[in-house]
Structure 1
Amino acid sequence: MRRAGGVFVTSEADPMAELVRAQRVAVARAHARGMDPDQPLHLTRSVILSS
């Protein structure tokens, strides 16, 4: 992990809270790169439900 530039972080927080934090980091990184996390490139819905 260190060779790839990653950092291991430990926390006493609730695991669900950690998932929220990870999601917020991913969204912030996408925005910093000029990407729209709500419209990922090359990804389409595989199931389309009729209304």
Structure 2
Amino acid sequence: MVGNHESVTTIGLPQKSVRIQSSGAARKSEPKNLLEELQKKDIVERS
């Protein structure tokens, strides 16, 4: 699931994907927050 979100983010926002990769440690400590951010950005992109 996380990989799916990352690939979508890479297509829409390459800079964001780089930030996600560099924030690997943050992803492990706060997976829900990152998932929420990705979902919100997904909705914004689709709107």
TM-score (norm 1): 0.43
- Structure with more helix by fraction: 2
Q: Which structure has the bigger radius of gyration? A: 1
TM-score (norm 2): 0.46
